[in-house]
Amino acid sequence: MKDILYIGPYREFSDTGIISRKYIQSLSLTKNNIAVKPFYNLLKSYPQTNINSSVLELEDNKKDEYDIVIQHAFPHQLCYDSKFEKNIAIVNPECLNYGLDYFNYINQMDIIIVPSEFSKRSLIGCGVDQNKIYTVPVPIDLVEIDSFKNALPEKSNNKYSFYIIDDFISKSNIETILLAFLVISSKYQNIELIIKIEQSTNFSENTFKEIINNIYSLFPADHSRTLPTIINGETDYSKVLAMHNNCDCLIDISSGKSFSCSILEAMVFNNNIIALNDTAQSEIIEDNCGLIVDSEYTNCLDNNKIFFMYNTIRQIWSKPILNDLINTMEKALLESDIQKRDRIKAQDKKIQYFSMKAISELLENIL
């Protein structure tokens, strides 16, 4: 048994905060003594009442000395200290073509953990020693979700529901999804689009309405005015799971992600999933667990950077091709009973690889 200090943004209201909390849960299942300490990149805390108590209890599990330190941070925040047996970094690269600065920050560490093969490829591309890099997917708490799932009612309407769970920012490509939905809704009437905005601080309802009006102006006046449903600011996890339960097809075609917890959740509910080619999300739905949209490389234009040196115009990521998104959404709508049966069978098998226990075993072999 080793004494391990984990430092990360698990109290933060962000995608990285979600990933941090889930990693800690799996770390606590290893045969080690885990202590945790928070820091913030964003001055916005996740509601403490919504954080798993098993995570917060580890804050009191302090030691005078530790064998291993795990820093879950941006590369420029990493610090190597020779007093530890191992200095481990968890980083979340979201795009390709990072340069020498990224390499210098990262390569000093003994071990580097990333959540996807896409992120690993990103680090190798900037020169990081691949023998130091371990891919450990973000786990999902199947026990917690099953307890919610069993109490949820069946879907309440007969419409086919496409849905998005993301931030209202440029890399999420929500405008492209809106365009595709408007095209396909002119052909299929009994469908809807639900958009769950994860972080209310990034969302302006007036701006969103203006975007919708601009998109509608591209269509003939007699075009069906099927408006999307917007859900903003709800942080209760049970409401998010209820959304998975009531919808049919999750669309996650964000250009810049190192993983997608929403895709795992959708998979538990056996929903169809649309992901963007050559992204971390598309890895999760390999082996017939969803549908892939064609993409093209373009320079990053990220309007939601926390630090100016990441996801700049010098980096590249994938952007969806509109016509293929339209075709892929139609494929989801027209999925046959046999195709659905085979997909659900593949999803049920695949999700087990992301369980808390499975990921804790991966971590155990690294520590």
Closest CA to 364 of 136, 149, 117: 136
- Integer Cα distance of 18 and 56 in angstroms: 14
Tell me what pLDDT residue 112 has: 97
Name the pLDDT band for 211 (thresholds 50, 70, 90).
confident
Name the pLDDT band for 234 (thresholds 50, 70, 90).
low
Give the pLDDT confidence of 40-98 residue by residue, as tens digits.
Answer: 998 888 888 888 888 999 999 989 999 999 999 999 999 999 999 999 999 999 999 98
Strand partners, 230: 195
The mean pLDDT of the chain is 90
Tell me what pLDDT residue 46 has: 86
Query: Residue 205: is its pLDDT beyond 70?
Result: no
Tell me what pLDDT residue 265 has: 97
Summarize the confidence of residues 218-227 as an average pLDDT: 63
Name the pLDDT band for 214 (thresholds 50, 70, 90).
confident
- Integer Cα distance of 255 and 313 in angstroms: 14
Tell me what pLDDT residue 153 has: 80
Tell me what pLDDT residue 202 has: 54
CB contact at 8 A, 164 and 251: yes
Q: Which of the two residues, 307 and 354, has the higher pLDDT score?
A: 354
Domains in the chain, please, with CATH? 3-138+355-360 (3.40.50), 142-353 (3.40.50.2000)
Query: Residue 182: is its pLDDT beyond 90?
Result: no
Give the pLDDT confidence of 13-52 residue by residue, as tens digits.
Answer: 888 999 999 999 999 999 999 999 999 998 888 888 888 8
CB contact at 8 A, 55 and 25: yes
- pLDDT over 70 percentage in the chain: 93
Neighbours of 336 (CB within 10 A): 8
Tell me what pLDDT residue 309 has: 84
Tell me what pLDDT residue 264 has: 97
| Phi, psi for residue 54 in degrees, rounded to 5 | -65, -25
CB contact at 8 A, 241 and 145: yes
* Angle, CA of 322, 325 and 330, to the nearest 5°: 135
- Integer Cα distance of 275 and 163 in angstroms: 12
Give the pLDDT confidence of 304-352 residue by residue, as tens digits.
Answer: 888 888 889 999 999 999 999 999 999 999 999 999 999 999 999 999 9
Q: Distance from CA of residue 165 to its chain's centroid?
A: 9
Query: Residue 224: is its pLDDT beyond 70?
Result: no
End-to-end C-alpha distance for the chain, whole angstroms: 10
Give the pLDDT confidence of 123-146 residue by residue, as tens digits.
Answer: 999 999 999 999 999 999 999 898
- Reduced to 3 states (helix: H, G, I; strand: E, B; else coil), residue 349 is helix
pTM, rounded to two decimals: 0.93
- Integer Cα distance of 359 and 352 in angstroms: 10
Name the pLDDT band for 170 (thresholds 50, 70, 90).
confident
Place of tokens 């595709």: 180
Class of residue 285 by CB neighbours under 10 A (exposed 0-12, middle 13-18, buried 19+):
buried
180-184, 191-195, 328-332: which is most confident: 328-332
Query: Residue 233: is its pLDDT beyond 70?
Result: no
| Phi, psi for residue 36 in degrees, rounded to 5 | -130, 150
Provide the residue type at 234 as one letter. E
